[in-house]
Amino acid sequence: MNYIRTGFILKAAKNYFIPLFYTLFFLALVLIFLVNFSANIVQAENIEIIQHDIKAEQLGDLGIFAAEIEIINHQEEVELWLGYSIRDSRGEWHDLEPQKVFIEAGSSKIIPLNESIFQEKEIRSGEFLFITALWDSYPQEEARRLTEDRKQLEIDFGHYELEEDINDENYLEAKNNFTDYNFLKASHRLGRGRLNPANITKEDEIIKIKSPANSYQGGEIRTEDRFGYGSYKIEMKTDYAPGSFAAFFLYQDVRGSNDEIDIEIYNDGSRQIDFVTFVQGEKTNYKTEELPFDPSSDYHEYRIDYFPDQILFYVENELMAAFTGDLPSAEMKVMVNHWWPNWLEAESDHRASEIKIREIEIEEF
């Protein structure tokens, strides 16, 4: 009986200790792996974002988001992923493509960001939220966010109403051969770029609105006063700048939805011209035609006759379009600009261009 009992005990011990041995052996391997792997694991407390500098002026002038992110690493050499997101003033989110970053042990690194994410969109003034984050792997569900930094900025890109900021530099000496009314140089974002007062000059009684080479900048002039029903005429010479417009138009210029009457000439050699009306910001009439001449070859006359019951568009005294329904009714400013719409294809590498204005006549009914 003693031998049987002893054998039973030994057999039980064997059945118990063998699985335990393998379990302990497996745990030892895991521990060794974790110890060896831990040197490559990014510890969140050892990584800091110490600078998050946003270049708001480039966002306003060029539609380009630019920033500098400085990261400091307090541990061994590490591989990180940098993610970046922007919430614009409309509440829309824009995500930059994440990028891999290597930082040496005990050092810092500045990561420059430069993305043309807003060039195809109109940017509105308002509150922007900028978020940069560091991840231990490519940002997705299983990735671990190590740290982040948020910037909330109120950015003003300028707007149509200049009355609050009128100074001598805004005024354009356009009287005498133009009209008896003051014109102002505008400064605000429009389309792909910015309308810059520096691009407007007056030489030998000719007003020039320029667009510099390799730039989406343009220029705009507008009357200081608003006008009602009447006849509005311009003598203008356009230029060859594919992707841009030369426009002569009436615009209500108030915050919110605006009435508008447009003549828009394509600067691409196609001779296309558009006639458009808006009522409280909604397009109500549209017609496109082909001019019988090259608008960039010489000065030509374009005219808007604004009546309560119809709007007539003339080119060289020839009627090109007539609208009789869904018409604007507001008093509006007279404007001329050279600009780059988002919806036209345009190369960033192009020569300088300018439109020239010889005369503007305003006759109220």
Instruction: Note the pTM of the prediction, 2 decimals.
Output: 0.60
CATH of the domain at 202: 2.60.120.200
Q: Which residue has the higher pLDDT, 13 or 166?
A: 13
- 103 against 16, higher pLDDT: 103
The reported pLDDT for the residue numbered 297 is 96
- What is the Cα–Cα distance from 80 to 78, expressed in whole angstroms? 6
When mean pLDDT is compared across 96-100, 175-179, 298-302, the lowest value belongs to 175-179
Identify whether residues 258 and 122 lie together within a single domain: no
Per-residue confidence (pLDDT) for residue 322, from 0 to 100: 98
Does residue 313 share a domain with residue 202?
yes
* pLDDT on residue 22: 60
Q: Final residue of a domain: which of 102, 121, 155?
A: 155
Domain end, chosen from 117, 136, 155, is at: 155
Find the domain containing 357 and state its range: 163-364
Among 155, 181, 206, identify where a domain stops.
155
The pLDDT, as a whole number, for residue 107 is 92
Indicate if 19 and 129 belong to the same structural domain. no
Instruction: Say if CB 357 and CB 207 are below 8 A apart.
Output: yes
Lookup result for tokens 């420059």 = 112
Q: In this structure, are 145 and 245 located in the same domain?
A: no
Task: Give per-residue pLDDT as tens, 212-266.
Answer: 998 889 999 999 899 999 999 999 999 999 999 999 999 999 877 899 999 999 9
Positive or negative, the CA dihedral 170, 358, 342, 254 is positive
pLDDT for 188 equals 80
Average pLDDT over residues 93-113: 91
Same domain, 96 and 210: no
Q: What percentage of the chain carries pLDDT values higher than 90?
A: 53
Confidence of residue 290 (pLDDT cuts 50, 70, 90): very high
320 — alpha (psi -120 to 50), left (phi > 0) or beta? alpha
**129 and 169 share one domain:** no
Model pLDDT, residue 4:
41
Summarised one tens digit per residue, pLDDT across range 140-174 is 878 999 999 999 988 766 433 333 333 445 666 55
CA atoms of 161 and 336, how far apart (whole Å): 15
pLDDT at 302 over 60: yes
* Together in a domain, 194 and 55: no
- Mean pLDDT across 299-317: 98
pLDDT band at 2 (very low <50, low <70, confident <90, very high): very low
Look up residue 84 and give its two tokens: 């970046």
Q: What is the mean pLDDT of residues 7-15?
A: 49
Count CA within 13 A, CB hemisphere, residue 306. 31
Alpha helix positions (H), the chain: 2-37, 56-62
Model pLDDT, residue 169: 55
Residues 147 and 167 placed together within one structural domain of the fold: no
Please write the tens of the pLDDT for every residue from 27-83: 655 555 444 444 445 566 789 999 999 887 667 655 678 899 999 999 889 999 999
* Amino acid residing at 12: A
Q: What is the pLDDT of residue 39?
A: 41
Neighbouring CB atoms inside 10 A of 172's CB total 18
| Same-domain check for residues 149 and 240 | no
**Looking at residue 119, what is its pLDDT?**
56
Alpha-carbon span 282 to 266, nearest angstrom: 22
Q: Which of these ranges, 111-125, 151-165, 201-215, 256-270, has the smallest mean pLDDT? A: 151-165
The pLDDT value recorded for residue 257 is: 85
- Same domain for 220 and 348, yes or no, is yes
For residue 88, name the pLDDT band (cuts at 50, 70, 90). confident
Predicted confidence band of residue 127 (pLDDT cuts 50, 70, 90): confident
User: Per the structure, how many domains does the chain have?
Assistant: 3
Do 342 and 285 sit in the same domain of this protein? yes
pLDDT at 73: 92
Mean per-residue pLDDT of the chain: 83
Strands 145-155 and 219-223 turn out to be unpaired
pLDDT tens per residue, range 34-47: 444 444 455 667 89
Mean pLDDT of 174-181: 57
Distance CA 265, CA 247 (A): 6
136, 171: one domain = no
